[in-house]
Chains A and B, each alone.
Chain A
Amino acid sequence: QKEVEQNSGPLSVPEGAIASLNCTYSDRGSQSFFWYRQYSGKSPELIMFIYSNGDKEDGRFTAQLNKASQYVSLLIRDSQPSDSATYLCAVKSGGYQKVTFGIGTKLQVIP
């Protein structure tokens, strides 16, 4: 079982719709969860991080964490063509600095 699992996509949504990206993780001791956005040929950039159960909102982005189900998600409201990118889920193991990434979900926002 992979430590961090994501559907590779592509996930296609029309402009203005809500995009929902999902991630599961295997280590129950994980404490911190991150969503990075990566444009082709570029370095990842942090979109959201969360470490408490529930929702965390920042502008058009909402991160959701359910530690009992070992599940973290990212919602993008009012999706724009500029949101088209690969979204990487990352998990930091508790007590250590190891950060593990999923394979990423490619999002395509159709104008």
Chain B
Amino acid sequence: DGGITQSPKYLFRKEGQNVTLSCEQNLNHDAMYWYRQDPGQGLRLIYYSQIVNDFQKGDIAEGYSVSREKKESFPLTVTSAQKNPTAFYLCASSIGRQGVGEKLFFGSGTQLSVL
């Protein structure tokens, strides 16, 4: 079945530690996204990528880094510079056609907590 796989489902970070959240899609989508959701809040865009080897900062990129070396994969690293990383992280993808309304396909999310 085609879809987006996020792992792990739960992740714990120690102070000063970098952690990486995995996101893999087999939908052959060009565009991929990372969002952060805090309790009772909407989704805030961290990074997005329109095509392989290209990505753009979203609204809250500080303390995060990404790579897009393969079309299928868009891992997110939460660095030690992110002082408040506890949140629900959602990865999404879309076909990526310019100017066309198209749905985002979401993974099941990763809940990151600080020890």
Residues of chain A at the chain B interface (Cβ within 8 Å): 6, 8, 31-34, 36, 42-46, 49-51, 88, 90, 92, 94-104
The 3 closest A-B pairs by CB, nearest first: A32-B101, A103-B42, A43-B106
Tell whether, in the assembled complex, residue B45 and residue A6 are in contact, meaning their CB atoms are under 8 Å apart: no
| Interfacial chain B residues near A104, Cβ < 8 Å | 41-42
Is the beta-carbon distance between A44 and B106 smaller than 8 angstroms? yes
How many A-B contacts at CB < 8 Å in the complex? 66
Check if B107 sits within 8 Å of A51, measured CB to CB.
no
Cβ B59 vs Cβ A46 within 8 A: no
Give the shortest distance, in Å, between A49 (CB) and chain B (any CB): 5
Residues of chain B lying within 8 A (CB to CB) of residue A101: 35, 42-45
Q: Which residues from B are CB-within-8-Å of A97? A: 31, 33, 48, 50, 94, 96
Tell me which residues across on chain A come within 8 A of B43, comparing CB atoms.
44, 88, 90, 101
A-B contact pairs, 9 of them (CB 8 A): A44-B90, A98-B45, A98-B48, A99-B33, A99-B48, A99-B94, A101-B43, A101-B45, A102-B42
Q: Residues of B contacting A95 with CB < 8 Å?
A: 98-99
Residue in B40, B94, B99, B109 whose beta carbon sits within 8 Å of that of A8 in the complex:
B40
We find that the number of chain B residues with CB closer than 8 angstroms to chain A is 28
Cβ contact within 8 Å between A43 and B107: yes
B35: nearest residue on chain A (CB-CB)?
A101
- A residues within 8 A CB of B41? 103-104
Residues from 96 to 115 in B contacting A, C-beta threshold 8 Å: 96, 98-104, 106-109
Residues of B within 8 A of A94 (CB): 99
Q: A6-B42, A100-B59, A101-B42 are in contact. Are A49 and B108 (CB under 8 A)?
A: no
B35 cross-chain contacts in A, Cβ below 8 A? 101
